[in-house]
Amino acid sequence: MQDPEEASATHAHVYTPCKPVLSAKVMHFEGQPSVCFYRHYFVQHQRILDRLYRKLEASGDDTELPVRMLLLAALDTAESLTILVDSDKPRDAYVLGRVFLEAAVNACFVCASGSETAERAFRHFRQKSYRRLNWEMATQSLKISLTSNYQVSPKDEERLKQEMEEFTSNSGRELNWTAESLKDRIEGIAKLVGHIPATYLLAVYAAIYDTASEIAHGTMFGALFRLGLTQPYHKISGADDIAASRKSDLAFLLWLMNLVAYTLVTAVGKRYAFEDLVSISASLHGEMTDFMSKSVASDLEKDTHSPPAE
């Protein structure tokens, strides 16, 4: 591996904004083909997610509120992630990629699991809000605490205490909103959307979850990710190599985010019978996949007919 200090000295680069030119059947992109290509489809899926949210909002059905709130959170993160992509920030974008994945998985899981899971999500929300009114943090020699003067009614206080007990272990540890792991939730989602879309979620989990954790935790691995030094088979020798690595990371991330968005639309659309939006999302997904397959085949054909390197 290259010396990180040497690579960091050559990290300056110029980002070229995407300028997509669309035709009826074929898409040509100027600037950064892969990034622009996947960004186009990700933005299209954000528009579908927005339409899903508005349909749920217009239904007036309170039972769909947990899904609607999780859908709104996922959409908010998707928009923020796109801003980071446009700003050429793959390191931070990967962290938001994990956030988008988790919001999408939770929304899909609530759709697949039904009302009890939705109600548990809201009970967790209420007790967590109450729990945060008074807290403390300590090390061996340091301690900080916060006490709120906010008063809840006796009736609400009793309910909140019961909900706090529900999400507190026998040893006093605070519990997650659901006992199912992320992989278990994905397994449950497969019953609603089918194995292929659910496998997309599993693939994204495997591809970015650990990397995003390293970045979020501020480790050396996370710090050097921005320089392209975390993949030993990539030789980084200057600013051009770093720029190419960042572009590749962004394209890969956007491809994964499209898979998540497609599965999210499929789950919510199937749960609430918005088949028109499921169909549009499936069409976009098929178009993207078909274009990718042809591009890979073309690249392989070029490699086959290329003269051997001297």
Which tokens sit at 279?
A: 């169909």
Residue 139 counted as domain residue:
no
Q: Is the separation of the CB atoms in 216 and 95 below 8 Å?
A: yes
- Which residue, 253, 246, 255, is CA-closest to 291? 255
44-65 burial code (b ≥16 CB/10 A, e <16): bbbebbeebbebbeeeeeeebe
- What SS3 state is found at 268? helix
Quote the pLDDT of residue 21. Answer: 45
Q: What is d(CA 194, CA 24) in angstroms, rounded to the nearest whole number?
A: 31
Residue 233 counted as domain residue:
yes
Exposed/middle/buried for 199, CB within 10 Å: 0-12, 13-18, 19+?
Answer: middle
Quote the pLDDT of residue 245. Answer: 78
Residue 172 counted as domain residue:
no
- Which residue, 243, 222, 229, is CA-closest to 12? 243
Cα separations in angstroms, 142 against 69, 145, 308: 37, 10, 65
Q: What is d(CA 123, CA 160) in angstroms, rounded to the nearest whole number?
A: 8
Q: Please give the angle made by the CA atoms of 153, 157 and 159, to the nearest 5 degrees.
A: 120
Quote the pLDDT of residue 299. Answer: 53
What tens digit of pLDDT does each residue of 237-280 get? Answer: 677 777 777 888 899 999 999 999 999 999 999 999 999 999 99
Beta-bridge mates of residue 138: 143
Helix (H) or strand (E) holding 51: helix 33-59
Residue 134 counted as domain residue:
no
CB atoms within 10 A of CB 29: 17
Quote the pLDDT of residue 225. Answer: 80
Residue 159 counted as domain residue:
no
pTM above 0.85, yes or no: no
Structural domain for 269, as ranges: 4-120+180-303
What tens digit of pLDDT does each residue of 273-304 get? Answer: 999 999 999 999 999 998 877 766 555 555 45
Which residue numbers in the chain have pLDDT < 50? 1-17, 19-32, 303, 305, 309-310
Q: What is d(CA 195, CA 189) in angstroms, rounded to the nearest whole number?
A: 9
Residue 152 counted as domain residue:
no
Quote the pLDDT of residue 229. Answer: 66
Which residue type occupies 66?
Answer: P
- Which residue, 98, 108, 92, is CA-closest to 225? 92
- To the nearest 10°, the Cα dihedral for 31, 34, 39, 44? 110
Residue 296 counted as domain residue:
yes
Give me the residue label for tokens 């995003």. Answer: 212
Residue 222 counted as domain residue:
yes
Q: Please give the angle made by the CA atoms of 103, 224 and 30, to the nearest 5 degrees.
A: 70
Which tokens sit at 91?
A: 């390191």
Q: What is d(CA 258, CA 251) in angstroms, rounded to the nearest whole number?
A: 11
Number of domains composing the chain? 1
Q: Please report the DSSP string for 186-226 in residue order.
A: HHHHHHHH-HHHHHHHHHHHHHHHHHHHHHHTT-HHHHHHT
